[in-house]
Structure 1
């Protein structure tokens, strides 16, 4: 089985719609079989805007819990 280490993954979020996110997967040598995958969107893209919108919702929700 060959694993892709970089590329684009497509997601659908019910609130912000379709997202195309870049990914990079790094093997964790200290623990064989485990990997870390980082997802990102190009700066200024519609996908970046959608991620920022989601982050602002999470920050608003977290702040509401502390007040």
Structure 2
């Protein structure tokens, strides 16, 4: 659950904002924008479904998928 900051309406918006910030960082550091995609999954793809602080910390992540074209 969000800590009531008011900045994001839900975890999906927060997740998407995090992924977008990573993509922008990569672009600023030379990765071509046409090679990147930002996606946020919010609470919908947890690594650990438990309702504990440890589980939430595990689920608060960025994943990078590398593919060859």
Whether TM-score is above 0.5 comes out as no
**Structure having the larger proportion of residues in helix:** 2
Q: Which has the larger radius of gyration?
A: 1
How does the TM-score come out when normalised to structure 2? 0.31
